[in-house]
A and B are shown apart, each in its own frame.
Chain A
């Protein structure tokens, strides 16, 4: 009898920790999403139950649907760019001499090590319309009239600038991981393919790709999860003074509804909806993880 309960006893600490750090906040979030919880409630530390009203008003808000669509497009662009550029850098890393590779890797690690808030500040200085180095360089190179050009003039450009920053920050992780994956591609196979007359694209497609596909899929899934809920970069780079419904991403939408308008119940409802979307997307990731384990 005692022997049989040992496994369960061993699981108890883990279950308790997960319950405490995931279960309780989730319970609170669900409860909050069913309440009207505004500034009055915040001060009283007590909200009033309104059933599913918050969910109804979010789903009937056209801003929500526009934001969702914008975020999906934004995520696709960011992940696409990150994966393509990351793969190219990884392929480059394989081909260059050791000391150049060391230099490039060091550069990548420095990028990876930079905290997002600092990166935003640097980006915002560089792209500043008055004194930014970007406008200065473009003007010096006579690449058109970029004198005091405002890079953040329209929502499209605001989000484009955010994309450049996010992709730049995400590249090192993808490039270094893919480089590790590429080192697993057997040399003999590549050589054999080349001897049989395969060109480089064919070698990449039929020899390299199959080996790195699992890693590629996992990286893509992770990138989607990260980019979908991104907040720091758009909020700080666009700046609180320019955040409007026309440039909302999901993370910002939650913040504006929940915090800026002090409507915490509504904010909780939006985050639960986001959670459902993100969970649906991570199904691919989790299944792939399990399958990779099975193959080995």
Chain B
């Protein structure tokens, strides 16, 4: 009798195994496909530029087609590692500027030094961007674009509160936000500025504004400096600014639209629940039909009147994995994608293009007048993956730890990670 019950158990177990096996996807592979990994930013912000590059490439290379696979920032490196293990890497990969060093040092990419002349404007690349993709004098990454961070705001609300010009200092900005917040206090959950508490790109801008830093290298070792006097001043100012302008419980959100299904900041904007976002300039793309006409941008001011707060200079490189079997085609595609026409179009969308001769005077480019960057250490990417800074911010904003305690713990953790196993 009991056999029957056991049979049910056995059948169910067997079934679950079958289902699990069946869900493993099969992969198509044709001889003439160029596989390109781009980040979702391109999918959201400039799919037209990608499409134009692909059709130009396919026209110039009969019999080839381009398979663009969009990746998420949080998981693309692990997926890339898996393809390296299986010798099945993409032919072109977009890498965040903070991610390059570890992979260049390990020899994951093709040396592009001799192909440099194929890339338009390569002689006029911005020196900072060239440095991201250069390791020991060799070029491994082609600069794609950069971006600072700007305030995207609703001009109607600021005007109604009596502010017609962008604020000149952080204090002024904060009091304007508080006033806008009071004006809209009947809208439940409205916060004048929507920033996730764990959005470390925002928080560390304050640290650098007060002269602080993340880590320094001396005597052959990395030292965490988030608990230095100047860094602490910046973190305390960030906490005060956050508490004054966030009427909501966003202290533990990273507000990047990832993880636990958090909405993107511009979605909150679109829903009419905030007057401003701090983020990449291309946020204008997605503030919603209703607010398109009143969406404007300015450079976030520093605590020092008349200056910009240092913005994280984010950016991407395009690299050709060493195991790619279509290297020359990959280089051709990158040359197309970073060509003058593409880069100009990227600039039009509010990004910083890769060469000095293409620069304009956009709010993004003005914001980049003061910027900060992460320590260029081989293990920096492990600090990001370990969510060390995010954890610190969550702790100090919720009051779980004091600013000093949280910063000290993070500092030690960062030093340990950067100095490697």
Binding site for B on A (CB under 8 A): 38-40, 42-45, 115, 121, 124-125, 127-132, 147-153, 173, 176-177, 180-181, 184, 214-215, 218-219, 222, 237-244, 246, 256, 259-263, 292, 295-296
For B2, list chain A residues within 8 Å (CB). Answer: 184, 214-215, 292, 295-296
Is B387's CB under 8 angstroms from A131's CB? Answer: no
Of the candidates B9, B102, B107, B322, the one whose C-beta lies within 8 Å of that of A219 is B9
The complex places the Cα of A128 from the Cα of B253 at a distance, in Å, of 11
The complex places the Cα of A260 from the Cα of B4 at a distance, in Å, of 45
Given A125-B261, A260-B386: 4 more A-B contacts, CB < 8 Å: A128-B260, A153-B252, A176-B8, A222-B13
The complex places the Cα of A261 from the Cα of B24 at a distance, in Å, of 24
Report the minimal beta-carbon distance from B317 to chain A, rounded to whole angstroms. Answer: 17
Q: Quick one: given A40-B107, A184-B1, A260-B385, are A147 and B189 in contact (CB under 8 Å)? A: yes
For B188, list chain A residues within 8 Å (CB). Answer: 147
Give the residues from 241 to 293 in chain B that come closer than 8 angstroms, CB to CB, to chain A: 248-254, 256, 258-263, 268
Is A43's CB under 8 angstroms from B382's CB? Answer: no
For B361, list chain A residues within 8 Å (CB). Answer: none
For A42, list chain B residues within 8 Å (CB). Answer: 81, 84-85, 106
The complex places the Cα of A262 from the Cα of B79 at a distance, in Å, of 11
| Count class of interface residues, chain B | 35 or more
Is A244's CB under 8 angstroms from B387's CB? Answer: yes
For B42, list chain A residues within 8 Å (CB). Answer: none
B74 on interface, CB distance cutoff 8 Å:
yes
For A150, list chain B residues within 8 Å (CB). Answer: 249-253
Is A131's CB under 8 angstroms from B108's CB? Answer: no
List the 8 closest A-B pairs by CB distance, nearest first: A239-B259, A124-B261, A240-B74, A241-B259, A39-B106, A153-B252, A128-B261, A260-B385
Is B256's CB under 8 angstroms from A173's CB? Answer: no
For A296, list chain B residues within 8 Å (CB). Answer: 2-3
The complex places the Cα of A153 from the Cα of B74 at a distance, in Å, of 19
For B382, list chain A residues within 8 Å (CB). Answer: 260-261
B390 on interface, CB distance cutoff 8 Å:
yes
B421 on interface, CB distance cutoff 8 Å:
yes
Residue of A nearest to B82 (CB): A259
B398 on interface, CB distance cutoff 8 Å:
yes
Name which of A42, A115, A237 has the most chain B CB atoms within 10 A of its CB.
A42
Give the residues from 2 to 24 in chain B that come closer than 8 angstroms, CB to CB, to chain A: 2-6, 8-9, 12-13, 23
Is A39's CB under 8 angstroms from B103's CB? Answer: yes
Q: Quick one: given A43-B106, A115-B23, A127-B260, are A177 and B421 in contact (CB under 8 Å)? A: no
Show 14 A/B contacts (Cβ-Cβ < 8 Å), sorted by A.
A39-B81, A39-B102, A42-B81, A45-B87, A129-B249, A151-B260, A153-B394, A184-B2, A214-B2, A237-B260, A241-B256, A259-B78, A260-B382, A260-B385
Q: Quick one: given A43-B107, A263-B421, are A124 and B260 in contact (CB under 8 Å)? A: yes
For A239, list chain B residues within 8 Å (CB). Answer: 74, 258-260
Of the candidates A127, A180, A242, A260, the one whose C-beta lies within 8 Å of that of B390 is A242
Report the minimal beta-carbon distance from B85 to chain A, rounded to whole angstroms. Answer: 6
Is B260's CB under 8 angstroms from A242's CB? Answer: yes
Is B249's CB under 8 angstroms from A243's CB? Answer: no
For A238, list chain B residues within 8 Å (CB). Answer: 259-260
The complex places the Cα of A132 from the Cα of B103 at a distance, in Å, of 39
Per-residue 0/1 for B373-395: is the Cβ within 8 Å of any A Cβ (1 yes, 0 no)?
00000000010011100110010
Residue of A nearest to B321 (CB): A43
